[in-house]
Structure 1
Amino acid sequence: MEEHFVWVTTRRVRPGALEEFERAWRPPSSPQGLRRAFAYWSEDGQEITGVSFWDSKEVCDAWRASEPEKQRRAAMAPYVVEEREGFYRGRELAIPQR
């Protein structure tokens, strides 16, 4: 089975700030080593979870330390109330067929 390298970040944003946060959240270009990225938000628009899949932990760490990522985080900061993040390794689960 293929192993995945995943960065997950959950942020709580100020009420009514989802649209501004989303503009700041999007990187200007696709980071090297990023395979896919997803964003999920709560019904009230105050909690956003980003899930990104990377070629390796090293390329993810390189992006996290890059100047474009520092600038992106600074742009998001005015809208973020709380942030949790973590790096994970895993694989797709096989779902039994009925």
Structure 2
Amino acid sequence: MDEHFVWVTTRRVRPGALEDFERAWRPSAHPDGMRRAFAYWSEDGEEVTGVSFWESRQACDSWRGSDAEKQRRDAMAPYVVEEREGYYRGGELAIP
């Protein structure tokens, strides 16, 4: 199994604020070291989970400490009720 480093963030968004949140959420530049990214929305539009794949934890930490990420988080803050995040390692499972 090819191992990946993954950063997962789940945010609960204020009711009716999903469109504004989405505008603030997208980074202004592609982060160095990010390989892929996915976003998943709950059916009610009040929870968003982002999953990003990174070259290394160091690359992810570098982005998380950057001014661009701070500005992005500041822009999202008015629309976020709760945020959870975590680092994970793992890989794709083969489906028989």
TM over 0.5: yes
Provide the residue aligned with 2:30 in structure 1: 30
Provide the residue aligned with 2:17 in structure 1: 17
Provide the residue aligned with 1:62 in structure 2: 62
Where 2:21 maps in the other structure, the secondary structure is helix
Q: Distance in 2 between matches of 1:19 and 1:36?
A: 22
| Identical counterparts, % of pairs | 79
Instruction: Give 1 or 2 for the bigger CA radius of gyration.
Output: 1
Instruction: Tell me the amino acid that sits aligned with residue 90 of structure 1.
Output: G
Q: Distance in 2 between matches of 1:11 and 1:28?
A: 19
Provide the residue aligned with 2:79 in structure 1: 79
Number of residues of Structure 1 aligned to a counterpart in Structure 2: 96
* RMSD after superposition: 0.5
Q: Which runs of 5+ in 2 are unaligned?
A: none
Moved over 6 A (4+): none
Taking structure 2 as the reference length, what is the TM-score of the superposition? 0.98
Q: Distance in 2 between matches of 1:65 and 1:48?
A: 22
TM-aligned CA deviation for residue 2 of structure 1: 1.1
Q: Distance in 1 between matches of 2:29 and 2:79?
A: 21
Provide the residue aligned with 1:47 in structure 2: 47
